[in-house]
Structure 1
C-alpha cells in the first residue's frame, strides 16, 4: 500500500475507484487527485506514476493491491475500512466501479472456464459486492446523523444494452451491472438520505481493451472490422477525455435521477 498525505481538510470528498492502474481508470484517478479528492484505488497492481502524481499535487492517495476475482474478501476489507473512518471531516463519499475484463474473444463455447469465471467475478460480482459493502458501511454513518452525499457510479457499456457475437461474458456482466444498479436505486430512493446510483456507458475509448478486440481472430469475431475501422477513422475517445466526461456526469445536479445513462446522451 502506498499513501500520499495532503494537509488536513475539513470537507473531504472521499472517492473509491477500482481499476485505477491504467486506461480511463488511471486518467480518472489523476483528475480526481487534481480536484482535491481523497482517493482510495483498488487495482491488481500499484501504479508508481499515480503515486508520483499524488505527491506532485499534494494529494491524498491510498492504493490497495487486490484481486477483484475474490470480491467477497475485498468487500470485507473495504467495509471494515469505511467503518474505521471518522466522518466529521467527510463531506461526500463516492464509489466508482470501473474495473472490467474481456476474456478470450470468440463464441461462448470456446471461452476457457477460468477466463469466463474471472470475467463475471470482476465484471459483475465485484461491483455488486463493493456496492453492498459501501452502502452498508455508509448507511451506518447516516444512521449516526452524517448528512453527506453518497454516490455509486458503475462504468457500464453499450454492450450491456445490445448483444454482440463473441462478447457474451462482457455483455452479460455489463447487463447485470445495469440491472443491479436499477434495483439498488429503487432501494435507496425509499430511504432518507439514500445513496444515488448510476450505471453509465462511457463511449468507445482508446484503451488496451480496444487493442484486444482489434487483435482477435476475425473468424470467431464477426464485428472485428468495426473496431478496426473505429481506430483507423480516429473515432475513439482518449482515456483523458473519457475520464473528464464521466467525472462531469458524476458532478451533475441530476445525478441519479435516471439510473441508466450514456455520456453520449449528455
Structure 2
C-alpha cells in the first residue's frame, strides 16, 4: 500500500488501543478519520493536516445512522487508493449473570459492540467502492471464541463480529478484505475494569489479576503495531478469523 493514498477510519480513538492505532497510522502518513464520544486533543494538535475526528455516541445506532446519512465519510475516502476500517470501540459491560443484567445496558453494549461496527463496515464498503483495496478490521476477542462466566453479552457480541467476517468473505468481493482479529490481552482501561469486577459477577477475575501481576499484558502500542502491520500485509484477509499472537506477517 502507498501511504499517501491510504486512509483509515478508527472508532474509539481517545484511549487505549484505539488511541495507539490512530497515532501509529498518522505517524505512517496515513490520514485518519476518528470516531468517538470525545476528542483526542493531543493527536489533533500533532497532526492537524491528516487527522479528522467526529464526536459521536457509538453506542447509539440511531445517531450513527444519522451521521452515516451525511457525506463526511464519502468525502474522507474520496480519491483514496486504499481504505482501512478499524472497528475498535467496544465495552465489556454488563458483567454478571443473566438475572443481574440491565436491559438498557444490554442494548447499549449491542449497539456499541455489534450494530455500529456492522453499520460502519457496510458504509465504508459503499463509500469506498472506487478504491482498489478496502480492508475491514474487526477488533474481536478470545471471548468471542471461548465462553466466560459473567460475560454472556461480551462473548456474544464478539462472536457476532467473528461470524460477520466469516459471512462477508462469502460475497467474494476481491477488492474487499475482512478479518475479525483477537488482539490478545492488552493493558488498557478495559482490563482495569475487569479486575475491578467483583468475583460474584466475574468468577475468573483472579486469572486477569495474575496476568497483570506477572507482566503478561501487552501494551496498546505494541498491539497496535502488530495489528497495523497485519492489516497492511498480503496475509490480511486470507482467513476471516485470526489471533494477532499467531499471525505471521509476510
User: Under TM normalisation by the shorter chain, which class is it?
Assistant: over 0.9
Contact 2:183–2:227 under 8 Å retained in 1? yes
TM-score (ref. length: structure 1)? 0.87
**Deviation per residue, 1:13-34 (Å, 9 max, x gap):** 1100001010010011110000
Question: In the alignment, is residue 83 of structure 1 matched against residue 64 of structure 2?
Answer: no
Which residue number in structure 1 is paired with residue 209 of structure 2?
Answer: 228
Structure with greater Cα Rg: 1
> Across the two proteins, how many residue pairs are aligned to each other?
245
**2:170 matched residue in structure 1:** 186
Distance 1:208 1:11 in 2: 33
User: Which residue is 2:114 aligned to?
Assistant: 124
The whole-number CA distance in structure 2 between the counterparts of 1:61 and 1:76 is 22
Out of 206, 213, 217, the residue aligned to residue 194 of structure 2 is 213
> Which residue among 140, 151, 158 is the counterpart of 2:135?
151
Query: Closer, same or farther in 2 for the Cα pair 1:72/1:185, shift >3 Å?
Result: farther
Which whole-Å CA distance do the structure 2 matches of 1:29 and 1:234 have between them?
25
User: SS at 1:200's partner residue?
Assistant: strand
Q: What is residue 244 of structure 1 aligned with on the other side?
A: 225
**Aligned: 1:161 with 2:152:** no
CA contact (8 A) 1:201 1:263 kept: yes
Runs of at least 5 residues in structure 1 that lack an aligned partner in the other structure: 1-8, 142-146
CA RMSD, aligned part only? 1.8
CA distance in 1, matches of 2:62, 2:82: 24
Structure 1 partner of 2:7: 14
1:100 aligns with 2:90: yes
Deviation for aligned residue 1:53: 2.6
Answer yes or no: is the 8 Å Cα contact 1:160–1:175 preserved in 2: yes
CA contact (8 A) 1:16 1:39 kept: yes
Q: TM-score, normalised by structure 2?
A: 0.92
CA displacement, residues 167-217 of structure 1 (integer Å, 9 cap, x when unaligned): 011101100000011111211x1x3x4310000000000001111111111
Bigger shift: 158-167 or 103-112? 103-112
3-state DSSP class of the match of 1:131? helix
